[in-house]
């Protein structure tokens, strides 16, 4: 294969990565933007989405049916769990930033242990809903991966529409700006928070359902998405949806391309250091407006 086709392949892989990453990162960004909560258990919500997709596939015999069922069920179930977490845990902590980080660290351990106990330590594969191989002149490529890109784009467009055009989005943005004023205007802030947290977790779960036919389910699989979501959210500017999308695209693409050229560990080392340095020297993110 020549350099051109290799680059095309790497870009495609990067796009798949970027699409899934954007979904997970937008979830994290939403909870931070609206609620000022850093959710360390976000990676575990992602993991739960994948594990649930596998579980659903065990009950539904046909792959396409199972996939559709998982696509609906997993985000809802994870969202419900997140709703419960918000009302039972985060609300009682008054959303104190440091306490909520410690609490969500505890939650992530608990969820990992839960997945390990019920799901076991092995990685499990889930069948893709359809097998389609697109033949390029230089290589064949999975049609499902292209579908993942399209599906993620569709969901992101829907999220963007909800945030910028719908009443729910207006209420969320109002709460983000000033929760006391929002409350004074009759907005049920408790419900907005619980809903935002559920939506953020649901997006992570959805991303995982999409990716699991490609990369298998495992109880420790939440680590990398959490780290990458952090990176995307911080580089993109905390709480900025547009910045998050751009950063997801850049990081997803560069990760796809770089990991073909360099060892992944080295890429991760550089990425974590970049995040730390961005937070130190440019806390508003690379794309956020200067505060």
User: Which residues contact another protein by CB under 8 A?
Assistant: 38, 89, 92-93, 97-99, 101-103, 105-114, 116-117, 227, 230, 234, 263, 265-266, 268-269, 272-273, 275-277, 279-281, 283
Which one, 231 or 248, has the nearer CB to another protein?
Answer: 231
Task: Please report how close the Cβ of residue 173 comes to another protein at its closest, in angstroms.
Answer: 21
Report the residue number, 73 or 119, with the smaller CB distance to another protein: 119
Q: Please say which residue, 86 or 144, places its beta carbon nearer to another protein.
A: 86
How near is the Cβ of 106 to another protein at its closest, in Å?
3
What minimum distance in Å lies between the beta carbon of 180 and another protein?
19
Q: What residues contact 2, with CB distance under 8 A and at least 6 apart?
A: 138
Output the smallest distance, CB 234 to another protein, in A.
Answer: 7
Here the tokens at position 266 are 């080295």
Provide, rounded to whole angstroms, the least separation between the CB of residue 19 and another protein. 24
| 75 vs 237 by CB, closer to another protein | 237
Give the nearer residue to another protein in terms of CB position, either 116 or 154. Answer: 116
């Amino acid at each position: 294969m020549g350099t051109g086709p290799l680059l095309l392949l790497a870009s495609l892989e990067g796009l798949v990565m970027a699409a899934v990453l954007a979904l997970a990162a937008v979830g994290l960004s939403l909870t931070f933007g609206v609620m000022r909560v850093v959710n360390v258990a976000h990676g575990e919500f992602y993991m739960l989405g994948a594990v649930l997709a596998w579980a659903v596939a065990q009950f539904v015999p046909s792959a396409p049916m199972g996939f559709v069922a998982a696509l609906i069920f997993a985000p809802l179930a994870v969202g419900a769990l997140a709703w419960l977490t918000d009302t039972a845990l985060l609300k009682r902590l008054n959303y104190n930033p440091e306490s909520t980080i410690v609490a969500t660290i505890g939650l992530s351990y608990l969820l990992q242990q839960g997945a390990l106990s019920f799901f076991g330590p092995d990685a499990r594969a889930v069948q893709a809903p359809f097998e389609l191989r697109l033949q390029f002149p230089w290589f064949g490529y999975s049609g499902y991966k292209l579908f993942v890109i399209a599906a993620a784009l569709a969901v992101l467009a829907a999220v963007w529409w909800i945030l910028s055009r719908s009443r729910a989005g207006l209420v969320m943005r109002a709460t983000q700006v000033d929760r006391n004023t929002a409350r004074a205007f009759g907005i049920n802030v408790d419900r907005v928070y619980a809903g935002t947290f559920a939506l953020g977790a649901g997006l992570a779960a959805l991303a995982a359902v999409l990716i699991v036919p490609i990369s298998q389910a495992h109880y420790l699989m939440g680590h990398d998405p959490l780290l990458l979501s952090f990176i995307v959210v911080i580089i993109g500017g905390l709480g900025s949806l547009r910045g998050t999308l751009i950063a997801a695209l850049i990081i997803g693409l560069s990760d796809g391309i770089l990991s073909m050229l360099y060892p992944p560990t080295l890429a991760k080392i550089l990425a974590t250091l970049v995040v730390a340095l961005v937070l130190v020297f440019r806390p508003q993110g690379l794309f956020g407006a200067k505060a």
